[in-house]
Structure 1
Amino acid sequence: MKRLFQFIDGLTERRVRSLASNTSRRSALVKVGKVMVASAFTLPVLPFDRSSQAFAAGHGGSGGAKEPSETDCDYWRYCSVDGFLCSCCGGSTTSCPPGTSPSKVTWVGTCHNPMDGRDYLVSYNDCCGRTSCGRCMCNTNFGDRPGYRMGVHNDVNWCMSNDSSVYHCTVSIIVGVAEQ
């Protein structure tokens, strides 16, 4: 067994020394960098089975569908929210807290309500004018699109069109039923 380990050790040493004598540090770093960049783009697109999580969220474990509270990121109308929930910050699901004003521009998502099986258009309005709430952060991003399509991208400070561009929290207002 000792000879096997010595053989493997010697073979490995010869290979590493050969590689080191034929390769510059710069080219080795370039190759390592390429592998790292390729893996950064490849790993996020690998498929993950989240069907059991979706089933559990919609059925609450008791056999019937259970509606999450309005301060829970699993609440169906928060399917594309990115920010602090106003329902945790002195406001509600549909109204900004006192001392803030709704953003003049918004982003819109389509969310599925598991209670009635319908899809709804939901407008996400940032509430502006006070510093960030810091409670109930949700970043669900279902159906989020790249930043070049501003109307369907949620990772933007939508308070930029208001007098005060300071972000506080986000409300989600149902604006219609999606047609099938």
Structure 2
Amino acid sequence: MKRLLDALTARTDAGAERMVRRTAQRYSRRSFIGRAALFMAGTALLPVLPFDQGGRAIAATPNGGKLQDDDPLACDYWRYCAIDGNLCNDCGGTLTSCPPGAEASKVSWVGTCRNPTDGKDYVVSYNDCCGKAACTGTECVNSARERPGYQMSLHNDINWCMANKSMGYHCTVAVLVGQVDDAPAG
């Protein structure tokens, strides 16, 4: 048994050595370093991509009341179905733009919200506005279907200003990205 194990180990070592030598002959150190740098740059860009939280979208508020379409300063406004933060339109900005002196976060989370007026679903991007002290206006926390913090793409209690130069959170905007297509994929 020991001889069989030694023979198998020797064969594996020889095969690994051949593969390493073949790779070393085909690729230079510069090529390896270039590919490694490209891989690291690619992984560094992942946090800039938006997070799809469409699975969290709901047509009712956490307390069971219907979302409404007439007051963008109320937490039960339909675009806020997956929001967690202070409303920018109550902090010197608008429903879709940051107030002066603040900049939109480079990363965001998205949700799919149903407009009660037309009955259609829309993708809404929630961007934190960064660079100013936290606003003390209306704070809305619609976290139905939220997942634990270790599942970042399904969690909205994160300081999304982390990718910006100034990481101070101020408020959150709700920008319509588009209407959800009801056609089946494929």
TM-score bucket of the superposed structures, by smaller chain:
0.5 to 0.7
What is residue 24 of structure 2 aligned with on the other side? none
**Sequence identity percentage:** 54
Which of 79, 93, 96 pairs up with 2:95? 93
Instruction: Please tell me whether the aligned partners of residues 102 and 126 of structure 1 are also in contact (alpha carbons under 8 angstroms).
Output: yes
What is residue 17 of structure 2 aligned with on the other side? none
Runs (5+) with no aligned partner, structure 2: 1-61
What is residue 161 of structure 1 aligned with on the other side? 163
Structure 1 residue 50, shift from structure 2 partner: 5.6
What is residue 137 of structure 1 aligned with on the other side? 139
Alignment of 1:16-165 (within 5 A): 53-54=65-66, 57-58=67-68, 67-165=69-167
Separation in structure 1 between the aligned mates of residue 179 and residue 135 of structure 2, nearest angstrom: 30
Runs (5+) with no aligned partner, structure 1: 1-48, 59-66
Structure 1 residue 145, shift from structure 2 partner: 2.6
Separation in structure 1 between the aligned mates of residue 63 and residue 174 of structure 2, nearest angstrom: 24
What is residue 172 of structure 1 aligned with on the other side? 174
Cα distance 1:153–1:50, how it changes in 2: closer, same or farther (>3 A)? Answer: closer
Cα distance 1:88–1:135, how it changes in 2: closer, same or farther (>3 A)? Answer: same
Write out per-residue CA displacement over residues 31-61 of structure 1, whole angstroms, 9 at most, x where no aligned residue.
xxxxxxxxxxxxxxxxxx965x32xx55xxx
**Corresponding residue pairs, total:** 121
Cα distance 1:170–1:50, how it changes in 2: closer, same or farther (>3 A)? Answer: closer
Aligned-partner SS, 2:124: strand
Q: Letter of the aligned partner of 2:148 in structure 1? A: P
Cα distance 1:105–1:155, how it changes in 2: closer, same or farther (>3 A)? Answer: same
Structure 1 residue 147, shift from structure 2 partner: 2.0
Structure 1 residue 74, shift from structure 2 partner: 0.9
Write out per-residue CA displacement over residues 58-106 of structure 1, whole angstroms, 9 at most, x where no aligned residue.
5xxxxxxxx2311111110001111100000010010000000000000
Write out per-residue CA displacement over residues 129-171 of structure 1, whole angstroms, 9 at most, x where no aligned residue.
0010111000011332332332232110000110010000000
Q: Letter of the aligned partner of 1:78 in structure 2? A: Y
Separation in structure 2 between the aligned mates of residue 89 and residue 130 of structure 1, nearest angstrom: 11
Moved over 6 A (4+): none
Cα distance 1:81–1:50, how it changes in 2: closer, same or farther (>3 A)? Answer: closer
Instruction: Calculate the TM-score normalised by the size of structure 2.
Output: 0.61
RMSD of aligned Cα (Å): 1.7
Q: Letter of the aligned partner of 1:77 in structure 2? A: R
